[in-house]
A and B are shown apart, each in its own frame.
Chain A
Amino acid sequence: MSGMNRKQLVAAAAVLLLVPTLSWGAGFALFEHGNKAMAMGGAFTAVANDPSAVYWNAAGLAFQSDKGIQFMAGATFIDASQDFTGESPYPGAGYTASQKSQIFFPPHAYLVYPINDTMTLGVGVLTPFGLGTWWEENFAGRFISKRVDLKLYDFTPTLAIKVSNDVAVAVGIDYTIGQIDLTKGIGVINPYTQRLADVGQVHMFTDGASNTAFGWNASIFAKLGSGFSAGVMYRSQIDMDLDGYGSFTQYPTGYADFDAALGAMVPFGQKTPLKTKIKFPDYLSVGLAWQNAKWTVSGQVGFMGWSSFQNLPINFTEHPELSTTVEEGYKDTTQYRLGVEYRVNPTWSLRAGALHDETPQPAASMSPLLGDGTRKGYSAGVGWTNGKISVDVGDLYLVFDKRSTGGMSFDGYEGTYDTSANLFGVTFGVRF
C-alpha cells in the first residue's frame, strides 16, 4: 500500500465499498470498523470521538456536533494465514494443510448529521461479522469444508441525544443482511475399492440480499471530569433465518452402478432449496478513558454472548434426508482492549493499542470451517488531519493461541490450528 499515492488510495477505497466483499475473523466477529479505533486496539467505547462511534458508542456522536456534517469511510485489509497439523487417528500425525492465501477487506462508511445542539443522527454501513476460510485442494478435511464465506452487513441508523452537558445516550436500529457460501466435498467408502472416494461436492449458498434481520443497539457516554470519560455500549443478538440453495455436483468414480446408486440418493446436478439459522451474539462493551491536550488513554472490557451459537442447521427442505446440523457449542467470552493516542500537533497523531480476545469456540468444534483460538493483538497507527479532511492509517497484528482439537473433534478431524493475521486499514474522513 505504501507505494500508492493518496489519489489512488481514495479511488481504491471508493471501489472497495462497491465491490461485494469477503471478510475474515476468528470467532467470526469483526471489530475493525474505523482505523483510528483499530490503531487504539479497539478501545473506543469511552473515546467515541469520530464517526466510527456509530459502532463503538453512538452516544459519543452527541459530543461531535461541533464538527458539522461528517462522512467517513474506509476499509481494513485482512491478510490471514492458517496452518493445520494433523493428529491421529484422522488425518494423522504429520499431516499438514494450509489455507489458501486470501485478502479480505471489510469496508465501513459513516455519515454523521447534527440535527441540533442536542440530537445527532448517525448512519453506518459495516460488517460486524465475517468469516472466510479456503483450504488447499484435496486436503483431508474437504468433507467438512473446502471453502466458506459468511458475512453480515449492518446498516445502522442511530440517534444520539445529549441529556446534559456531560451525558449522552443513543439508540439505534441494526438492519442486517446475511450471506453464507459454503462448499464441501462428499466422501463415502466406495464399496468396490473399500476406500474413501470423492463422489461429489455440495455448494450451499444464499442469494444476494434476500436474507435480512433486525437488531438494535443502545449506548451511554459520560464525561466524568478531570479528563475522564466512560461509555457503555450494547448491541443486541441478531437471529437470522437464511434461505438459500444447495447445488450438488457428482464426481464419477468409474463404477457406473455405484455412481448410479449415489445418484439415486443425492440430487446431483440440481439446485435444491435450503434453510439455515444463525444467531449472531450480542455484545456489551464498557470503557473508561482519560485524556488531556496531548494524550488519550483508554481501557475497555467487552462481553460477547457467543453461547447463542450452538449449532448451524442446514436443512434441505426438499431432501430432509440430506439435512445436517453442525455442532458448535460456543461459550460466552470476555475481551480486553487498551489504547493510547498521542497528539504530536494539531495535524498528526500517533496511536497504539493491545487486545486480548477469548475464543468462544470449544476445541471439539474447531474444524476446517473455523479453527479459532484466543487472540492477542498489537496495534499501531497514525492520524493526519487538516481540520477538514482526515486520514487514519492503522495496523493490527493478531496472534492466535496454537490450539489442538485434543481428540475431541465433532467431525473426527483432529489436529492443531496455527493462525496469525495482519490487518491494515485506511479510513478517510471529510467534514462539511
Chain B
Amino acid sequence: MKRTLFICTLAVLLVGLSAGAQSADFSRYVALGDSLTAGFSSGGLVQTFQQGSYPALLAHQAGTPDFEQPLVSEPGIPVLLTLQALLPNPVIMAPDVAPGSPINAEYPAPYNNLGVPGANLYDLIHTTGNIMNLLAGNQDNVMHDLILRDGQHTALEQAIGLQPTFVTMWIGNNDILGAAVYGTPVEGVTMTPVADFQSMYQTALGALATNTSADIVVVTLPDVAAIPFVTTVKPYITLPDGSHVPLIGSNGPLPEDAYVTLNGAALIAQGYGLPPGIPGANGEPLPEDMQVVNGVPVPGVVLRQEEISIIRDRTAAFNNIIRDTAAAMGAKVFDINDLFGSIVRGDFGVLGGITLNADFLTGGIFSYDGVHPQAVGYGLVAMSLIDFINQTYGTSIPQVNMFQILCPGGDCAGPAETQATHAVFSAQAAEQVQRIFAPRLANAPMARRATGAHRAVRSDHVLKVQKGAHRVQ
C-alpha cells in the first residue's frame, strides 16, 4: 500500500514537473525577417516601435536576456509618417526634419533582431550591409547597412553566428508585397518566381536547421491584398444621391471589385481618375500598371481582380512551400493568417470593450503607411505567436500586456496639439512607401550591396568586434 502510494506520488510529481518545464529555450533568441520583424511602422524605423516589435515582445515575455535591436532615435529612419489632419481628407506626411540616427550601432555582436525592412528571401541569404556606408551619408542600402553593419555577413549568417537557441523566421513578404504596392504583379520584378522562392527557402531554412540547434518557428505570409494600403480607397466616387460613378483607370473605368492603392489617393486628389463632370477632374486616368521612367519605377495604383488573384495564388504557393519546407526540416509553422484573417474580416472582436479592425487610421491596428502594423498590431502578432509557442512547445510564456500597449502607463486620454490641413496621403508619403518596397527592376538585388569603397572606410573597432562576435561557419 505504502509502495503504491509512493509510486503514485512520484508519478504525480513527474507529471507535474514535465507539465511545468519549458521545452523551448529562449536564452538566445534570434528573429529573422523583414520590416514586420524589425518593428517598422508608419514608413520608418524608430525605437518606440522597435521596442514593441513582436520579437522584442516575445523576448521580453520569454525572459530572453539582452535582446538587442538596431534601435533608431526619433524621428526615425526614414522620418516616420505622421497624421497631419483627419478631415476633410486625411493628410499623411513625414515632417521635413532630419532623420533619426542609429543608437545601438556599436553593439559588439550581431543583433538578436535581424529583421531588415525591405528584405526579401534573396536578401536574407545574400545581401550584406555596412554601417559606415550609412554613416557616410549614403542612402543606397540603408536598412541592411543599419542592421547588418559589418559589410561581410548576411542576416542568415549573422543569425547562425549567434548560435541561437530559438529562431523565428518570417521572410517572404517582400517576395510578393511589391506586386500590391506597385499595383502590378510582374514575375521576377514585383514578385519572386515560385521555383526561386522554393530553392531559396530550402537554402535559408536548411542553413538554420543544419548550423544551429535552435528550435525554429517559421511564419506564413499574410494576404497582402487585404491590407489597408490596398483596401482603403474605393474605385468609385459616391454622388450625393448615393450612386457610384467609377473612377477611370488607364485600362478603362474601374469595376466595383477593383482596388485603388493608397498611392492612388494622392493622384485622385490631383484630379487623376476622376470621371468627366466631377469637379477637379484633370482628364487623366489613374495609372493602373507600373511603368519605368528613366530607370525609376513608377507604381500603378490599381489592382483589378485578375491581379488580386495572381497575388493571392502566389502567396498561397509561397505558403505551401513554407509549410512543406518546415515539415521537411523540423521547423514549426505559425500561420499568421489565423490572426490576420480575423482582423481583415472584422471579426477579431474587442479588447476590454475596444473594437479593433483593419480599417485605415481608425481601426487601431495598422500604421499610417497602410502596410505595417502600429504598436497595437505588433502586440497582437506577439500575442498570437506566444499562444502558438505555448501550445506547440508546452511552454507557459506569459502573455503580453495589451493594456500597456493600448494605453502606455495607464494614461490614454492625453490630448496634444491640433494639426493643420493639407492634402491626402501625400505624394511624399506615397513615395516613402514605394521606396521601401522598390521592385528589383534589373532583377539584380546585388546592386544594392555595399561597395568596396564603402567597406574601406569602416571603423576598425566595428570590424573587430563584429569578427569576434561571429563564430563563422
Contact = CB atoms under 8 A, between A and B. Distances in A.
Q: Do A and B come from one complex?
A: yes
Interface of A: 86-93, 95, 140-144, 184-185, 187-189, 191-198, 251-258, 260-261, 411-413
Contact of B354 (A88, A193, A196): A196
Contacts of B356: 189
Contacts of B86: 191-192, 255, 257-258, 261
Nearest to B416: A254
Interface in B363-381: 363-364, 367, 374-376, 379
B413 A88 contact: no
Contact of A196 (B363, B412, B418): B412
A141 B350 CA distance: 12
A45 B153 CA distance: 82
B353 A413 contact: yes
Interface residues of B, number: 43
B83 A411 contact: no
Most chain B beta-carbon neighbours within 10 Å: one of A91, A184, A196 = A196
Interface in B86-124: 86-87, 90
Contacts of A260: 87
A219 B367 CA distance: 64
B87 A194 contact: no
B450 to A, nearest CB: 34
Contacts of B403: 86, 90-92, 95, 140
A412 B418 contact: no
Contact of A189 (B352, B353, B364): B364
B298 interface: no
Given A88-B401, A141-B353, A254-B418, A189 B87 contact: no
Given A87-B399, A187-B412, A191-B83, 20 more contacts: A88-B400, A90-B351, A91-B403, A141-B352, A142-B353, A144-B352, A187-B352, A188-B354, A189-B376, A191-B361, A192-B83, A196-B412, A197-B413, A254-B415, A254-B416, A254-B418, A255-B86, A257-B421, A412-B352, A413-B351
A260 B407 CA distance: 22
B85 interface: yes
Given A189-B362, A257-B86, A261-B86, A195 B407 contact: yes
B268 interface: no
A185 B403 CA distance: 16
Interface string B373-401: 01110010001000000000000001111
Contacts of B349: 412
B209 interface: no
B419 A255 contact: yes
Contacts of A89: 351, 379, 383, 399-402
Contact of B352 (A91, A192, A253, A257): A91
What's the dominant secondary structure at chain B's contact region?
A: loop
B352 A255 contact: no
Nearest to A145: B353
A252 B374 contact: no
Contacts of A411: 350, 352-353
Given A191-B361, A254-B418, A198 B400 contact: no
A196 B403 CA distance: 9
9 contacts: A90-B401, A91-B403, A141-B352, A143-B352, A191-B86, A196-B412, A257-B85, A411-B352, A411-B353
A189 B348 CA distance: 15
B452 interface: no
A88 B398 contact: yes
B122 to A, nearest CB: 32
Contacts of B383: 89
A188 B364 contact: yes
A88 B352 contact: no
A115 B376 CA distance: 70
Contact of B404 (A92, A255, A258): A92
B406 interface: yes
A366 to B, nearest CB: 13
A381 B130 CA distance: 83
B417 A254 contact: yes
A257 B361 CA distance: 13
Contacts of A258: 86
B243 to A, nearest CB: 21
Nearest to A189: B364
A198 B325 CA distance: 47
A195 B353 contact: no
B338 to A, nearest CB: 15
A142 B353 CA distance: 8
B277 interface: no
Contacts of B414: 193, 254
Given A89-B383, A257-B86, A187 B419 contact: no
Contact of A255 (B401, B406, B408, B418): B418
Interface string B409-449: 01011111111010000000000000000000000000000
B354 A187 contact: yes
Contacts of A193: 414, 416
B87 A261 contact: yes
A407 to B, nearest CB: 8
B401 A92 contact: yes
A140 to B, nearest CB: 5
Contact of A252 (B401, B415, B419, B421): B415
A320 B222 CA distance: 33
A92 to B, nearest CB: 3
A194 B400 contact: no
B415 A253 contact: yes
Nearest to B415: A254
Contacts of B404: 92
Contacts of B418: 254-257
Contacts of B85: 257
Contact of B367 (A91, A141, A184, A194): A194
Contacts of A187: 352-354, 412
A124 B196 CA distance: 82
A185 B412 CA distance: 13
Contacts of B83: 191-192
Nearest to A91: B403
Contacts of B407: 140, 195-196
Interface in B327-371: 349-356, 361-364, 367
Contacts of A252: 415
B422 to A, nearest CB: 12
B387 to A, nearest CB: 9
B401 A93 contact: yes
B176 to A, nearest CB: 26
Given A88-B399, A196-B406, A261-B87, A255 B353 contact: no
Q: Which 7 A-B pairs have the closest CB atoms?
A: A254-B415, A189-B364, A92-B401, A143-B353, A88-B399, A91-B403, A257-B87
Given A189-B356, A257-B87, A411-B352, A198 B412 contact: yes
B82 to A, nearest CB: 8
Nearest to B84: A192
B398 to A, nearest CB: 6
Nearest to A89: B402
A255 B415 contact: yes
Given A89-B399, A189-B362, A261-B87, A195 B408 contact: yes
A36 to B, nearest CB: 43
Contacts of B87: 257, 260-261
A184 B354 CA distance: 12
A251 B353 contact: no
